[in-house]
Amino acid sequence: MSRIRTLSLVALLASVAWSQTQSPVVSFKTVRRLYDKNRDGEVTRAEYTRGDELFTKLDADGDGVLTEHDFATKKEARNEAKKPTDPNVPGASTPDATPVTPPTAEQSAFFEKHIRPVLVKDCMTCHATGLGDVKADLALDYRDGWVKGGINGPAIVPGDPESSLLISAMRYSDSDVKMPPKGKLSADVIRDFETWVRMGAPDPRVDAPKNSKEAATDGSLPKVGRTVSKDEIEAGRKYWSFTPPAKSVPPVPKQNGWAFNEVDQFLLAEMEKKGLAPAPDADRRSWLRRVTFDVTGLPPTIEALDAFEKDKSTDAHEKVIDRLLNSPQYGERWGRHWLDVARYAESTGKEVNVAYPHAWRYRDYVIDAFNRDRPYDRFLIEQLAGDLMPYQDAVQQSTQLVATGFLAVGVKALNTRDRRQFEHDLADEQIDTTTQAMLGLTVACARCHDHKFDPIPQSDYYAMEGIFLSTDTLYGTFRAPQTNYPSAVIELPKDNGQPKGAQMTAIQRTVLKGLYDRAKQLVETPVDPKADVVARVRTAQANATIAQYDDVFSRFDKDGNPTDRNLVAMGVMDRPRPREARILDRGEPAKALELVKRGVVQVITASDAAPTIKKGSGRLELAEWIASPANPLTARVMVNRIWLHVFGQGLVTTPDNFGMTGNRPSHPELMDWMAVQFVEDGWSVKQTLRRLLLSHAYRMDSTASAKSASVDPENVYLSHMSTRRLEAEAIRDAMMASAGVLELERPEGSPVGALEGRVNGDLLRRGLAMQKPVRSVYLPILRDVVPEGLEIFDFAEPSFVTGERERTNVATQALYILNDEAVTAAAEAFAQRCMRESDDDGPRIEFAFLTAYGRKPSPNETEAARSFLRDFRALQRTDAPTPPTQEGARRRPRVARGNAAPRVDVEKETWTAFCQALFGSAEFRYVD
């Protein structure tokens, strides 16, 4: 059984002494003192270390956190039991005992002007029957609500402000009840309330509002903006993408013998309809470079080029494809495609950007899942509900827990002030990512109103929100100033088979230790009781720093090796009690309408096939509904994603939107054939990819015929392959591979693993250095501080679901290639490889071209290269020594200072310039 681990000083906390069988009679104060580690005034399930059973007992209102309310409820229940039937006891009075005189016009006006707006704005979020939440049983949304009063009795004694609880609570004079909790209201407002109570608290709101639970059953939707009717949903089920795909018989094209497989049949038949003919085959080396980049994100090695050139067997292409698909580099490339869609990153983003030190486990999970060709349906279920799936052993259980990191690694605004707002935003982010990534639907558009374009009513959104609100998202951040909503992480079970993570580097330790010691010193210095706000915030920050780094230092031993305490993961678990969500008028938490039964999007569910939630949050049912062959979108969306990365654009060119504002497929029958075949292949991504790579279409040359260029310039009908720019990772990896320095082995963990708290300043600059030149997929991806070499070549913005990246061509990229230190260093390493290869220019040039482009230079190019080398050498020799500049120290290394002018290492400089030019050339960053 996995446990949730709290992040701070567990060991220092005493346990409460009561037997497990005894009914807990304990004050909230005590519980809070013992368990509220982050001091946010409530105790979460994660903080409570006495087990689930007791927690559930204490959590009277079942909201997953222990608050004063739970204990008040208990107390009240006990009082209820021994309540005397004495009518003189306050609170025993019944509403109809109080005479109601209708307010005068003047009184009404006063109420409407000064009282109602305040009640609505500052009180009714928590005290309104009509909105569903009635904290401490006190309703303030109708007259009898306060007449009857809450657990402390009537809130108002008409005519007597001094005896009215409401007034004392507003004045903050009562030490127990201070309302509203987020801050005292202004003196003017309080005076208005006193006046109002003094005049007898005239309240025109005599009718009890309709209980919203009853409202939920009549099935009516709130009337805001456009409404999606049942008819519209029914009609929507006939939209192409909302109808289950059906397999048609592949057409038989006129041209015989060209089609290798069904994919080609569909494509060729369509070409013929448009009067197009397929391009001739690409030459073998172009195909090999193409397929090697497409499958692994790396250039072919010289050995691979040689071997393929020599292999004249009929299945030579197939052998290459299988070799590449079985290499671990396949998962590193294709896993990254999914990480784009899963908006993977290692920090929260937003104004207060807080590190996720354990996010990398999810990254590795995705890479492994692709490498092991985890069936795509299972892959999806694991990410949404891995914690709820059965398992054979701790290794499998851990893998499944890590998979749920999908729901935890999103953007979060931890400085949000209002807890409800934060929780709704969190669920919204999860709904948005899940539906776009897996279904190609923008369900989150229905948060504030019915979807403007698709037949998705607001109630569908809140049906899904209930599932996510019943889920505890564990992302592992601490409380600190500007950083609210601390969260635990999942402690993985023993024998989990998981790596422990990256070492803490010496530099990281030094930086962290420095910050830690400074914080300690600050806290230990006695604080002037009259200290100003700034000083108090500084102390709070220091305390947070200490708590964070206590955790960090417990995760690493003194040599920087990760300890068992680092075996934790981000992810989700079910809350103890599931709950339904309420529709929020315009998405505003303060405007809760009726409850909605948890469920899924209707338009893509046959009316009799809606899943029933058997137990828990319903995430498992949601996941199974998504990953079902009956879901019309799931297979289509994934097949399209695979297609897009093979042919350069999707059959549907809006890969994250299959709704009504998305584009329709260029080849509808092919799309559906592929989708059904994908499911029949056991949702195997590798099988689907292999089919595309083996097609004749994939073997075509990338040059467009004149006809194709004029009739089909966007190459929608694929009468030739499209030239595609490589992604940022492939460009960087190819430079490193050419330089011969790329480390193919997967590094353990991430440099972010040794961080906690806000990511900025020194910690970042010095803390993120990689130990080894690893593949780009393993570089630290912090939101808003993506490594420059990736950012500049259109890396996927990690705050959005990104099915397709941009492909820009701008001067800043050229500047990066020309001037960046790391690129220059890689060029130098590449140069040294060339120089080791031979002493002569000819073989060096050939080696460089083979390495960078996968082909030999043409005679023209050889000549150009020789001419460049000659001129550049001459320039170096005649170059007057550069006078020392400010960058003098960083200028090129000069060797052999003789009596004459200082000489540079002409050969190394020349070849470095040469190799850097290759990096910058168009051919280096495009595949044909």
Partner 1 sequence: MSIDPCCDNEGGASRRSFLKSAASGFGWLAFAGILSEQAYGFDLGGKLNKVRPGIPQDPNDPLAPKQPHFAARAKRVIFLNMAGAPSHVDTFDYKPRLATDNGKAAGGKLRGNWMASPFKFTPSGKSGLPISELFPNVAQHADSLCMLNGMYTDLPAHPQASVKLHTGNFQFVRPSMGAWISYGLGTVNRNLPSFVTLSPDRGNGGAQNYGAAFLPAIHQGTPINIGRAGRGGGAALANRGGGGDEGVANLKSSRFDTKEQREQIDFLQALNRERLRREKDPQVEGVIESFELAYRMQAEIPDLLDLSKEPKATQDMYGVGEQDTDAFARQCLTARRLAQAGVRYIQITKGGWDHHRNLKQAITDSTKAIDKPIGALLADLARTGMLKDTLVMWGGEFGRTPYAQGNDGRDHNNKGFTMWLAGGGVKGGYAHGATDEHGYEAVAGRLSIHDWHATILHLMGVDHTRLTCQHAGRDFRLTDVHGEVAKDILA
* Minimum distance, C-beta of residue 132 to partner 1, in the bound complex (Å): 17
Measured from the CB atom, the residue of 261 and 813 that comes closer to partner 1 is: 813
Q: Report the site for partner 1 in 316-355 (rule: CB under 8 A).
A: 347, 349, 351, 353
b or e along 721-745 (b: 16 or more beta carbons within 10 Å of the residue's beta carbon)?
A: beebbbbbbbbbbbbbbbbeebeee
Could you say whether residue 922 binds partner 1 (CB under 8 A)? yes
Which residue, among 670, 651, 559, 603, has the nearest Cα to 455 in the 3D structure? 603
Query: Which tokens sit at 777?
Result: 């997929």
Tell which positions 99-138 bind partner 1, by CB under 8 A: 120-121
Q: Does 882 bind partner 1 (CB under 8 A)?
A: yes
Q: Which is nearer to partner 1, 537 or 815 (CB)?
A: 815
DSSP codes, 358-403 = TTHHHHHHHHHHHHTT--HHHHHHHHHHGGGS--SSHHHHHHHHHH
**For partner 1, the closer CB: 279 or 388:** 279
Considering only 10, 109, 537, 815, the residue that binds partner 1 (CB under 8 A) is 815
Q: Is 800 in the site for partner 1 (CB under 8 A)?
A: yes
Q: Binding to partner 1 by residue 860, rule CB under 8 A?
A: yes
* Distance between CA atoms of residues 793 and 784, nearest Å: 15
Q: How far is the CB of 923 from partner 1 (least distance, A)?
A: 5
Which CB sits closer to partner 1, 508 or 702? 702
Specify whether the CB–CB gap between 803 and 644 falls below 8 A: yes
CB of 794 to partner 1, least distance (A): 7
**How far from the centroid of its chain's Cα atoms is residue 675's Cα?**
26
| Binding range to partner 1, per CB under 8 A, among 136-144, 196-204, 558-566, 805-813 | 805-813
Is 892 a binding residue for partner 1 by CB under 8 A? The answer is: yes
List the one residue from 41, 246, 453, 901 that touches partner 1 (CB under 8 A): 453
Give the number of C-alpha atoms closer than 13 A to the C-alpha of residue 748, restricted to the C-beta side: 13
Determine which residue in the list 208, 448, 523, 835 makes contact with partner 1, applying CB under 8 A.
448
Output the CA torsion sign for 376, 378, 384, 387.
negative
H or E element that contains 927: strand 926-927
Q: Is the CB of residue 131 less than 8 Å from the CB of residue 595?
A: no
User: Of 748, 841, 905, 923, which one interacts with partner 1 (CB under 8 A)?
Assistant: 923
d(CA 18, CA 52) in angstroms, rounded, equals: 15
Q: Which of 27, 104, 663, 771 binds partner 1 (CB under 8 A)?
A: 663
Residue among 808, 838, 877, 902 that touches partner 1 (CB under 8 A): 808
Query: What is the C-alpha to C-alpha distance for residues 89 and 926, in angstroms, rounded to an integer?
Result: 84
137-176 residues near partner 1, rule: CB under 8 A = none
| For partner 1, the closer CB: 156 or 869 | 869
What is the dihedral angle through the alpha carbons of 355, 360, 361, 364, rounded to the nearest 10 degrees? 170
Dist. CA 682–CA 627, nearest whole Å:
12
Q: Which of 154, 787, 803, 854 binds partner 1 (CB under 8 A)?
A: 787
Which of 4, 157, 437, 768 is in the footprint of partner 1 by CB under 8 A? Answer: 768
* Binding to partner 1 in span 697-726, by CB under 8 A: 702-703, 706, 709-714, 723, 725
**Dihedral, CA atoms, 374, 380, 383, 389, nearest 10 degrees?**
-80
Is 186 a binder of partner 1 (CB under 8 A)?
A: no
Cβ proximity to partner 1, 9 vs 875, nearer residue = 875
214 - beta bridge partners?
Answer: none
Pick the binder of partner 1 from 216, 279, 674, 913 (CB under 8 A).
913
Residues 6+ apart with CB under 8 A from 507: 766, 767, 769
- 331/648 with CB nearer partner 1: 648
* Residue from 40, 232, 423, 585 binding partner 1 (CB under 8 A): 585
- How does DSSP classify residue 162? G
Shortest distance (Å) from residue 854 CB to partner 1 = 14
Stretch binding partner 1 (CB under 8 A), from 174-182, 425-433, 539-547, 819-827: 819-827
Site for partner 1 in 721-740 (CB under 8 A): 723, 725
Stretch that binds partner 1, among 211-219, 587-595, 624-632, 746-754 (CB under 8 A): 587-595
Q: Give me the residues paired with residue 472 across strands.
A: 573
Question: Which string of x and - marks every residue 244-283 that binds partner 1 (by CB under 8 A)?
Answer: ----------------------------------------
Q: What's at 640, amino acid-wise? A: N
Q: Shortest gap between Cβ of 926 and partner 1 (angstroms)?
A: 7
DSSP letters along 66-99, please? E-HHHHHHHHHHHHHHT----TTSTT---GGGS-
Q: Is 587 in the site for partner 1 (CB under 8 A)?
A: yes
**Residue 806 is a binding residue for partner 1 (CB under 8 A):** yes
Between residues 560 and 920, which has the closer beta carbon with respect to partner 1? Answer: 920
Closest listed residue to residue 515, CA positions, set 546, 483, 479, 558: 546
CB 517 to partner 1: min, Å: 21
Q: What residues numbered 210-229 form the site for partner 1, per CB under 8 A?
A: 223-225
Sole binder of partner 1 in the list 3, 114, 419, 452 (CB under 8 A): 452
Please, are residues 492 and 3 in contact by the beta-carbon 8 Å criterion?
A: no
Under rule CB under 8 A, residue 785 binds partner 1: yes
Q: Does 842 bind partner 1 (CB under 8 A)?
A: no
- Quote the CA–CA distance of 121 and 126 in Å, as a whole number: 10
Task: Tell me: does residue 661 bind partner 1 (CB under 8 A).
Answer: yes
A 10 A CB-CB count for 186 gives: 10
Q: Is 159 helix (H, G, I), strand (E, B) or coil?
A: coil
Size of the site for partner 1 (CB under 8 A): 103
Compare residues 36 and 701 and give the one whose CB is closer to partner 1: 701
Tokens of 141: 């949304």
DSSP annotation of 115: I
Give the residue with the Cβ less far from partner 1, 53 or 762. Answer: 762
Exactly one of 809, 895, 901, 902 binds partner 1 (CB under 8 A); that residue is 809
- Contact with partner 1 (CB under 8 A): which of 315, 871, 881, 901? 871
722: nearest Cα among 658, 823, 629, 646: 646
Nearer to partner 1, 529 or 883 (CB): 883
Contact status: 861 vs partner 1 (CB under 8 A): yes
- Beta strand segments in 654-782, E: 724-725
CA Rg value for the chain: 33
Q: Are strands 571-574 and 926-927 parallel, antiparallel or unpaired?
A: unpaired
* CB 648, CB 926: distance < 8 Å: no
Considering beta carbons, is residue 79 or 809 the nearer one to partner 1? 809
Smallest gap from Cβ 201 to partner 1, in A, equals 24
Give the binding range for partner 1 (CB under 8 A) out of 11-19, 143-151, 483-491, 754-762: 754-762
Residues 387 and 404 sit within 8 Å (Cβ to Cβ): yes
**How far apart, in whole angstroms, are the C-alpha atoms of residue 831 and residue 814?**
20
Binding partner 1 (rule: CB under 8 A), the pick from 172, 868, 894, 907 is 868
